[in-house]
Amino acid sequence: MNAHPLQDQLRRPIHDLRISVTDRCNFRCTYCMPKELFGDDYAFLPASEQLTFDEILRLTRLFVSLGVSKIRLTGGEPLLRSNLPELVAGIRAIDGVEDMGLTTNGAMLGRQAAPLYAAGLRRLNVSLDALEPELFGRMNGRGYKPGTILRHIDHAVEAGYEVKVNMVVQRGVNESEIVPMAAYFKEKNITLRFIEFMDAGNDNGWSYDRVVTKQEILERLQRSFALEALEHSYFGEVAQRYRYRDSHAQIGFITSVSESFCSSCTRARLSSDGKLYTCLFAAEGYDLRAMIRSGADDGELLTAIRNVWEQRADRYSDERTEQTAGNREKIGMSYIGG
């Protein structure tokens, strides 16, 4: 760990690095990559513009030297990136990486769970927004059925992974699935996390009217389950966690809209084409790939990363209003990772 932890303008340390390994996805979820905008002819990044694994590993080592200890691989859908176990093994070998996870839609997890586990991956977050087949098929925009994802989750648990499931809740879409999802994953002893519908990007039709808040979800759950709140386990933990009183299973809430956690955000984000972002709702990033490919040495890269973080003052969710959400340009979630 760096002897002088890197802090931003609000004294938030850098602790987490989310690395998007691809901007491509095989789903077209309405709140992320609606198929009306991301059609079959959509121009994704060419391979030459993506960071190579060597470039990702070089940058990861530099971030770790500045205080990062937790890595998450995202996309797009990260399992679409070829030879991903090679990258996982490389990250696991970096001294100072204490934790690594991967967020996936789970559709390709069946055949990739074993090689990724062998490479050193131990934690998975699987996105699943409904158990009802027709509803889930509409939400993912490709007609994928939940049964496939559920089988892959079971397979991952059997392989030894710690699995959490992420559910984005939208009013008028899938509120009816809140209790069935909770009951299903309680029985499986798998943590389910309810995510408030966020205005990430500018293409998902977000409005406050479509947000189902943590308090509303919790009230629904408490009609069926006895729950007790748990303390945060570390500074910067995003989820508000609860435990079922009659079980070891837990649920969590990601409350970016109703109960902002900007004040304890410790996350930096690296896009698949090498831009550094300091907020999920950012409009612009800092181009580290251009520096690498123009011959910058590690010292120059470290200085650039340090300067970006030390100048950081992002607190978008604290300041969000209906007007700012609709009028501010923001990078797409599929590009930067959730």
| pLDDT tens track for 238-285 | 999 999 999 999 999 999 999 999 999 999 999 999 999 999 999 899
- Among residues 166, 196, 15, the alpha carbon closest in space to that of 102 is found at 166
Better-predicted residue by pLDDT, 177 or 323: 177
Angle at alpha carbon of residue 211, lines to 209 and 214, rounded to 5°: 140
Domain count across the chain = 1
Residue 210 lies in a domain: yes
Residue 5 lies in a domain: no
Give the other-Cβ count within 10 Å of 90's Cβ: 17
Question: pLDDT for 32-51, tens place per residue?
Answer: 898 998 998 999 999 999 99
- Among residues 192, 183, 177, 178, the alpha carbon closest in space to that of 125 is found at 192
Q: Report how far residue 307's alpha carbon sits from residue 11's, in angstroms, rounded to the nearest whole number.
A: 14
The pLDDT value recorded for residue 279 is 93
Residue 170 lies in a domain: yes
Provide mean pLDDT across the span 182-200: 96
The pLDDT value recorded for residue 1 is 45
Strand (E) or helix (H) holding 228: strand 227-229
Q: What is the percentage of the chain residues whose pLDDT exceeds 70? A: 97
pLDDT at 4 over 70: no
The pLDDT value recorded for residue 205 is 79
What is the domain extent for residue 128? 16-336
Q: Report how far residue 263's alpha carbon sits from residue 235's, in angstroms, rounded to the nearest whole number.
A: 10
Q: For 297, how many CA atoms within 13 A lie in the half-sphere containing its CB?
A: 1
Residue 258 lies in a domain: yes
- The tokens of 56 are what? 């990702």
- Is residue 287 a contact partner of residue 275, using CB atoms and an 8 Å limit? yes
Residue 9 lies in a domain: no
Angle at alpha carbon of residue 331, lines to 330 and 332, rounded to 5°: 115
The pLDDT value recorded for residue 325 is 65
Residue 8 lies in a domain: no
Residues 6 or more apart in contact with residue 49 via CB below 8 angstroms: 273, 289
Residue 100 lies in a domain: yes
* pLDDT band at residue 336 using 50, 70 and 90 as cut-offs: confident
Strands 275-277 and 267-270 come out as antiparallel
Coil, helix or strand for 284?
Answer: coil
CATH of the domain at 318: 3.20.20.70
Q: For 85, how many CA atoms within 13 A lie in the half-sphere containing its CB?
A: 11
